């Protein structure tokens, strides 16, 4: 806790030093995107397991609160990605360290330059959607739907603390013995950099399809061509959108399913290992510290299992019928 207070006070006191600000921004953007990813992978799995719930989740994405969040998400991904590339390049090129300040400024400029056309494209979808007087879910419903996620996160923290205390009681406390970085830690250090470079085209490609080319509102546009496939969304359900994306094959290969598998694996490990860095930085007590590592491991396993199960099972025609029925029942279609 003291180190968290120290981070905040020192960043403010040390204002003007761009390196410090870019470090804080990198941290906040990474955590923000990870938070979104957890909700997003769980939501997406509903297209397979609970199509009715998936339709509701996408309706929630199509509300003003989430529209604002969508702009913040895209800005966070772009800044984090460019700054991540800067970190990776400079780590492997110590001779360039004296240009850190300029590089941090270029990252900010690059972010703005990318965001201007992207935001203009996204804004076009936003205007078209809200200009058509759509049914918008009330804010109370949107917030209430997020409650189970909050409860899940609290339950995971409590479970991690209990597991850590049990482990401490059984195996004894081994803190105080400072060891040099293990081979495992070196692996994770390299993984963060290599995965970052690999994620970049995947996540930018995914966002280009879901925000710029088609947009989150068009996921449920009836009779529209589904982005990067040759299929039409006949039912206008979000479930059919995922069905067609995951069934689209080139030479027998389900390209978007494979793409999502790679994205899921790379970002989940990268994001939760990043979260481990952040949480263990601020945990003084050894039980809490170990609990944070357990929490990140639990998060990784749950997200890979839920997302992986959905991707491997795929959506079927029955799910689309269930989604249509659910939409009729809630009177939103
Ligand atoms: C788009 C390409 C991305 C690149 C190039 C990238 C790069 C990096 C790099 C180089 C680090 C520093 C690692 C270290 O300190 O050892 C990092 C940290 C982190 N990344 Fe990413 N990343 C990307 C995407 C993501 C995504 C999609 C998420 C969320 C799911 C994420 C979450 C995090 C978190 C939470 C941290 C820890 C921040 C800290 O220690 O202060 N990153 N990233
Ligand atoms: C609001 C922004 C976003 C929208 C509307 C969106 C939309 C979608 C949709 C419709 C799918 C279903 C499959 C497909 O069509 O490919 C999907 C899957 C996926 N998306 Fe996104 N996406 C967004 C942002 C992101 C971001 C920022 C990330 C990474 C950090 C991400 C990671 C994934 C992953 C890993 C999957 C596969 C999920 C699974 O395993 O079930 N998405 N997304």
For residue 189, the ligand 1 atom closest to its alpha carbon is 16
Q: How far apart are CA 27 and CA 108, in angstroms?
A: 15
Contact at 8 Å (CB) between 208 and 77?
no
Which two tokens mark 274?
């990043």
Residues contacting 190, CB < 8 A, separation 6+: none
CA distance readout (Å), 94 to 194, 250, 294 = 18, 44, 34
Residue 243: pLDDT over 80: yes
Which two tokens mark 71?
């702009």
CA distance readout (Å), 39 to 11, 35, 128, 146, 152 = 30, 7, 26, 9, 11
All structural domains of the chain with their residue ranges: 2-329
Maximum Cα–Cα distance across the chain: 64
Residue 135, SS3 per DSSP: coil
Q: What is the residue-averaged pLDDT of the chain? A: 92
Ligand 1 pocket: which of 192, 269, 303 to mutate (most atoms <8 Å of CB)? 192
Closest CA to 208 of 79, 78, 311, 315: 78
> pLDDT (tens digit, 9 = 90+) per residue, 130-169?
999 898 999 999 999 999 999 999 999 999 999 999 999 9
Enumerate residues lining ligand 2, CB below 6 A: 33, 37, 40-41, 44-45, 70, 73, 77, 203, 206, 210, 216, 219, 241-242, 245, 256, 260, 263-264, 267, 307, 310-311
Ligand 2 pocket: which of 32, 216, 260, 261 to mutate (most atoms <8 Å of CB)? 260
Closest CA to 29 of 66, 75, 65: 75
Contact at 8 Å (CB) between 17 and 100?
no
Residue 316, SS3 per DSSP: coil
CA nearest ligand 2 atom 36, residue: 260
Question: pLDDT-derived band of residue 333, with 50, 70 and 90 as boundaries?
Answer: very low
Which range scores top for mean pLDDT: 20-29, 91-100, 293-302? 293-302
CA angle 26, 32, 38 (to 5 degrees): 135
Which two tokens mark 55?
């339709």
> pLDDT (tens digit, 9 = 90+) per residue, 166-190?
999 998 766 555 677 789 999 999 9
Closest CA to 235 of 245, 224, 227, 246: 224
Centroid of ligand 1 to alpha carbon of 59 (angstroms) = 29
What value does the mean pLDDT take over residues 107-114?
A: 98
Which two tokens mark 44?
């997406």
């Amino acid at each position: 806790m003291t180190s968290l207070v120290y981070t905040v006070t020192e960043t403010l006191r040390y204002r003007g030093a761009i390196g410090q600000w870019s470090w804080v921004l990198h941290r906040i953007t990474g955590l923000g995107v990870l938070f979104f990813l957890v909700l997003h992978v769980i939501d997406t799995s509903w297209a397979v397991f609970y199509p009715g719930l998936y339709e509701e989740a996408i309706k929630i994405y199509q509300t003003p609160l989430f529209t604002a969040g969508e702009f913040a998400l895209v800005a966070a991904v772009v800044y984090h990605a460019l700054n991540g590339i800067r970190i990776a390049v400079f780590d492997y090129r110590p001779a360039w360290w004296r240009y850190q300040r300029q590089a941090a400024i270029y990252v900010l400029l690059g972010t703005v330059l990318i965001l201007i056309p992207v935001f203009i494209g996204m804004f076009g979808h936003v205007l078209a959607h809200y200009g058509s007087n759509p049914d918008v879910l009330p804010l109370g419903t949107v917030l209430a739907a997020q409650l189970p996620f909050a409860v899940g996160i609290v339950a995971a923290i409590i479970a991690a603390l209990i597991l850590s205390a049990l482990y401490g009681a059984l195996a004894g406390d081994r803190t105080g013995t400072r060891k040099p970085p293990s081979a495992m830690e070196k692996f994770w250090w390299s993984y963060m950099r290599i995965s970052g470079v690999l994620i970049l085209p995947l996540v930018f490609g995914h966002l280009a399809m879901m925000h710029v080319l088609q947009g989150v509102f068009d996921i449920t546009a009836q009779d529209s061509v589904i982005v990067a496939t040759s299929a039409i969304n006949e039912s206008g359900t979000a479930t059919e959108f995922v069905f067609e994306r995951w069934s689209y094959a080139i030479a027998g290969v389900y390209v978007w399913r494979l793409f999502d598998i790679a994205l899921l694996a790379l970002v989940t490990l990268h994001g939760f290992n990043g979260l481990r860095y952040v949480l263990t930085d601020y945990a003084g007590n050894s039980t809490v510290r170990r609990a944070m590592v357990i929490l990140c491991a639990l998060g990784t396993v749950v997200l890979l299992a839920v997302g992986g199960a959905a991707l491997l099972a795929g959506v079927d025609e029955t799910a689309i019928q269930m989604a249509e029925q659910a939409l009729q029942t809630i009177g939103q279609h």
